[in-house]
Structure 1
């Protein structure tokens, strides 16, 4: 039963993460904490173990979906490497901060973070890009299968600073960071949506390597759970990438943000009440 539940968690996280560029950790961490604390399905896990184990899964989710997106030539790997210059160190610092959180404080902070992310997903479609692309900094063009050409770009320092914050949240909460990076790429840097999601998954793969390495050194990985989660996450990431390239993800985002609000409120309640 334990293995089946972990496979389902991995599959759900991989599919949703690759579909909308979240990475899947925002599903894995609350699921591990819930099943480990309030059911007898799996053994109890600490916030540190949930985060460390989640980041191991993010490596495989990010790699699987990146390979799928590369076939469609939607990964801007040069921009992804620049972003990684910020997200990599941010992830290591986040992993270090994480070790000071107990279950109550982690639930409160993570719950608030999830609610904020769900609100961001709510208003994202109503926001307009901040400004036109300037000639300075990194500049890219992309032509989609329909023949539409997009011009986008960013200042290297700005991109690295934004990615640092994303990496910090990734190492702290065990998430991929795409929940913040994708909107930033679309609204601030004018990335085409499909390129933003694909490039986000590439950055998640890279930053998860450094963040998970930090958590491994701290002994925060349950390898049994990780090995059970990886197959589902790998298959789910392929499935999510496939759906992303063929369907509008608006319906999934609506469903996801409702679930995230409920999860966030529940985590805050658990942290405040200790129950």
Structure 2
């Protein structure tokens, strides 16, 4: 099957299967998997135009709602956290998309920078796992009893929520500033930013992975809509770069991702937070190596 926008020629089953496998694993950590689809499209499918970033975001738009819906049904979708992340991320997404098209059409220099950031976050996660005295002691029971989240207070400076018997306080300003940086990175590479945001929320804010995953996926969905719209608006001004998304390829990725994210969100509560951190660290390390390979 030929995809005329991207120039990719492959079986229609390949993007569906790849997205399903990737999304099943990554959605348990609150990550859509778009950042793994990027090297897959570049290295396996040979899709190297800037439009690959927008195509990744099409995947997010189609795939994320199933995982978000599952987290919402289980009472693990934090509205205030989603709002703060979205407000900070959206301006960064627009700026990132513009930088991707104008300054980094090949993104080799930024790939090196992103690899360093991802390596640092993976190391931070592993350090927290290997030094349990730095971590909060879980009070929500066994791995299969991830408790619903309850918002206790939401103000200008902070919001407070409870997960099981434990209470968490989050600085609204810190989350918004972090989201702005994450949105910039996500806009350039066509990812929702969950791969970057979730490790920071876990490591620096001390939040439980079972509580932040739903908000991360929902924010990824919202920012991906904005990113695809902005890339589509930029496309007529850079016709030689093929900036527009490949909708057909993105939809096939999304169909596979939809099933993978739903099953991943449903299975997450049966996996311990420690194992999820190992999973996130492994994903980050893998992506960092891929970024280094693209940069060198």
TM over 0.5: yes
Q: Where does residue 181 of structure 2 map in the other structure?
A: 165
TM-score normalised to structure 2 length: 0.77
Describe the superposition over 1:41-73 as per-residue Cα deviations: whole angstroms up to 9, x where unpaired: xxx441x11100001111233322111111111
Deviates more, 1:200-209 or 1:114-123: 114-123
Q: Where does residue 25 of structure 1 map in the other structure?
A: 34
- Confirm whether residue 153 of structure 1 aligns to residue 170 of structure 2: yes
Q: Where does residue 126 of structure 1 map in the other structure?
A: 127
User: Equivalents in 2 of 1:17, 1:215: separation in Å?
Assistant: 25
CA drift of 1:152 comes to: 2.2
User: Equivalents in 2 of 1:243, 1:196: separation in Å?
Assistant: 15
Q: Where does residue 73 of structure 2 map in the other structure?
A: 71
Task: Give SS of 1:126's match.
Answer: helix
CA drift of 1:22 comes to: 2.5
Q: Where does residue 181 of structure 1 map in the other structure?
A: 197
- Confirm whether residue 240 of structure 1 aligns to residue 264 of structure 2: yes
CA drift of 1:111 comes to: 4.6
Structure 1 unaligned regions, length at least 5 = 38-43, 130-134, 270-275
1:256-271 aligned within 5 A: 256-269=283-296
TM-score normalised to structure 1 length: 0.82
Task: Give SS of 1:20's match.
Answer: coil
Q: Where does residue 143 of structure 1 map in the other structure?
A: 163
User: Equivalents in 2 of 1:240, 1:172: separation in Å?
Assistant: 26
CA drift of 1:94 comes to: 0.8
40, 43, 54: which one aligns with 2:56: 54
User: Equivalents in 2 of 1:13, 1:115: separation in Å?
Assistant: 22
- Confirm whether residue 89 of structure 1 aligns to residue 91 of structure 2: yes
Equivalent pairs counted in the alignment come to: 253
- Confirm whether residue 217 of structure 1 aligns to residue 233 of structure 2: yes
CA drift of 1:122 comes to: 2.9
CA contact (8 A) 1:15 1:236 kept: yes
Describe the superposition over 1:63-106 as per-residue Cα deviations: whole angstroms up to 9, x where unpaired: 221111111111111221122111111111111111024554x1
User: Equivalents in 2 of 1:261, 1:225: separation in Å?
Assistant: 25
CA drift of 1:107 comes to: 3.5
C-alpha RMSD of matched pairs (Å): 2.4
User: Equivalents in 2 of 1:187, 1:255: separation in Å?
Assistant: 15
